[in-house]
Structure 1
Amino acid sequence: MKKKYRKLPRNTDYSAYRHPRWWPTWILIGVMWCFAQLPIRFQWWLGKVAGLLALQMAGSRRRITETNICLCFPELTADQQAALVRNAFIANGIGLLELGIAWFRDPAKLTSITEVHGLEHFEEALSHGNGVLLLGGHYSTLDLGGSLVTQYIHADVMQRDHNNPLMNAVMTRARERRYGTVHGARDLRGLFRSLRKNHAVWYATDQDYGRKDIVFAPFFGIPAGTITATSRIAERSGCRVVPFSHFRRDDKPGYDIYFHPALRDFPSGNDLEDATRINSVLEQEIRRAPDQYLWMHRRFKTRPDPHDPGFYTRK
């Protein structure tokens, strides 16, 4: 998939996608739009079905998820770990259906079933005038949660492009309707411009970006390659770093958004200490709803010893 689209331009003008090669993607987008119009309870049911199908068919992603959960929750029995794997696929299946809501529906219509906790922490951090870095994570409510957040605050976002240019165009245009500015994942100049304007910027550090500019900080007790850019950004801009998260409710359709007090004495001048704090905050949030995290990602791919065969090597 990546090779197929690697050399194609990242154009957000829909007129660039009239060629028949894009028709299958247009059909998929149309299906997503149709699903987005359905009642949320029905969408959640469809998402559950999609997640269970993926559990059976996505062999490599299932193995990655099983490995991550085994590493991060050793206190659970084998049956409990298997149940968490199953629930993680269900949660991410629902999240896939929620993409359509985030992209094609007005999030204002969901505020009646959304509760925001700790908004005063965000407002206090923003009052200092140097911008706010919203320290997020890759939860299954990623796009919808972000869309809902913008109903309560003004925010910009850092995004990684979708591999498919047409899907990337739809995603980017949808986010441009919700957020103030959409920055590319490597657009640090744009990030600093937003912070200088005293904007909030959604930012996540919880994926494995390779061996460059990282320290190995514990994440669920496992040394995980963690980027040091968060400390550099806070040091250079003077921004406040505010942890936040968003989760789907278990008992009934609805969502919760959490803002926490800005990290104190951050950065500390010690990259490992800062990365450890960030991972600890993220871990605390994940434990609210562990099934709603993106366990399908190879979080521990980069090991402290480059000669280590790694956790994801098939035996």
Structure 2
Amino acid sequence: MKDHFDPQAYHPHFKWSFLHPKFWGTWLAVGFAALFSLLPHRVRLALATVFAGLIMKRKSKANIRARVNLAMCFPEKSDEEREALLKQSLITAGTYLMGFAAMSTRSRKWLEQNTVIKGEEHLTAQRHSGQNTILLVPHTWAIDVPAVLLASRGLPVVGMAKKQKNDVTDWLMHKQRVQYGGRLYERRSGIKPFIRSIKEGYLGYYLPDEDLGPEHSVFVDFFAATKATMSGLGRLSKLSKASVLPLCASYNLETGQYEIEIKPPLDPFPLETEEQNARMMNACLEEFLSNSPEQYMWILRLLKTRPDGTLNPYKK
């Protein structure tokens, strides 16, 4: 078995302090999550539909962000259409998240049988040719599924992770993500270990849609909005000598299965400017999401940084 240990990687461990009373609520939630993951899909879907209706009535920060994002990205849609899209996204999120623990409570065989992959031949061709590979993965609700599934097949990934505020959930999520192998690095470790791992044959898991502020971004179109888009993929591709394959994960509300779609490698890539590279990234996201926008995490701070330095739109 491949040794995935790297002292620079993120390695949270169980601590006896996790049993402190302040974490009892967390452990209770974990127990419920494990039980919910064993429920039939239709039961989770019914529960998520009820919860989504209740959640939409709340004036939460997440709801505000989602409505702002949808209004800026889809101004051509009516308020009713955007509200329907938001509700469908929350139903998708709820149904998926109630089954999130299944990747730990269920077997490797179960995961394989409940996942459908389209375009797998593109990744197979990359591996057979020995080509280093970066997977371009948008923030859909099922974003963790491809990494776990590919690792279970002997194709471990390397990613960059942000530590969770809750130490218990941080430890458990890390265990689930690397249960079959792979590496995760904290952002403060820098990009060098990530590049080195790609050169060693790991699949780079690159999340292209985070807003990292004006210092690390270029402003290009994202649907109808202008978005501060990460500018480093072109350099990363050159330094790691890797091709870039767009990949999108989704949760099918009809079948209850995970679905993974893999596109051919971006070609030509990288282009001449970071703006061109960033726009190509966003175009990949738009292509994936145009047919299933409900799969996306619209609750994220996608458009926080504005090109003209105006106020954060979520605070207006």
Render the CA deviation track for 1:205-245: whole Å, top value 9, x for unaligned. 11111222210111113211111121111011111110001
Asked if the contact 1:51/1:92 (under 8 Å) is kept, the reply is no
Q: 1:57-206 residue pairs with structure 2 within 5 A?
A: 57=58, 59-152=60-153, 154-158=155-159, 159-187=161-189, 188-206=191-209
Of 274-283 and 44-53, more deviation after overlay is shown by 44-53
Q: 1:225-264 residue pairs with structure 2 within 5 A?
A: 225-264=228-267
Structure 1 position 149, deviation (Å)? 4.2
Of 109-118 and 228-237, more deviation after overlay is shown by 109-118
Separation in 1 of the partners of 2:80 and 2:300?
A: 22
Does residue 1:312 correspond to 2:281, yes or no? no
Query: Partner letter of residue 95 of structure 1?
Result: Y
Aligned to 1:270: 273
Query: Partner letter of residue 251 of structure 1?
Result: E
Separation in 2 of the partners of 1:287 and 1:152?
A: 30
Does residue 1:298 correspond to 2:295, yes or no? no
Secondary structure of the 1:247 match is: strand
Separation in 2 of the partners of 1:63 and 1:218?
A: 22
Render the CA deviation track for 1:158-206: whole Å, top value 9, x for unaligned. 2222221110000001111034222324442221121111221211011
Q: 1:23-38 residue pairs with structure 2 within 5 A?
A: 23-38=24-39
Render the CA deviation track for 1:102-158: whole Å, top value 9, x for unaligned. 343224314334221111111222344342111001101122354334445613142
Relative to structure 1, is the Cα distance of residues 123 and 185 closer, same or farther in structure 2, using a 3 angstrom cutoff?
farther
Separation in 1 of the partners of 2:153 and 2:50?
A: 32
Separation in 2 of the partners of 1:288 and 1:107?
A: 29
Query: Partner letter of residue 51 of structure 1?
Result: A
Asked if the contact 2:134/2:203 (under 8 Å) is kept, the reply is yes
Aligned to 2:4: none
> Which segments of 5 or more consecutive residues in structure 1 lack a partner in the other structure?
1-8
Query: Partner letter of residue 210 of structure 2?
Result: Q
Does residue 1:53 correspond to 2:45, yes or no? no
Asked if the contact 1:14/1:169 (under 8 Å) is kept, the reply is no
Relative to structure 1, is the Cα distance of residues 231 and 139 closer, same or farther in structure 2, using a 3 angstrom cutoff?
same
TM-score, structure 2 length as denominator?
0.89
Aligned to 1:6: none
Asked if the contact 2:103/2:111 (under 8 Å) is kept, the reply is no
Residue in structure 2 matching 1:219, options 222, 232, 254: 222
- Once the two structures are aligned, what percentage of the paired residues are identical? 25
Query: Partner letter of residue 28 of structure 2?
Result: I
TM-score, structure 1 length as denominator?
0.89
Relative to structure 1, is the Cα distance of residues 232 and 72 closer, same or farther in structure 2, using a 3 angstrom cutoff?
same
> Which segments of 5 or more consecutive residues in structure 2 lack a partner in the other structure?
1-9
Secondary structure of the 1:201 match is: strand
Runs of 4+ in 1 over 6 A off after TM superposition: none
Separation in 2 of the partners of 1:161 and 1:50?
A: 28
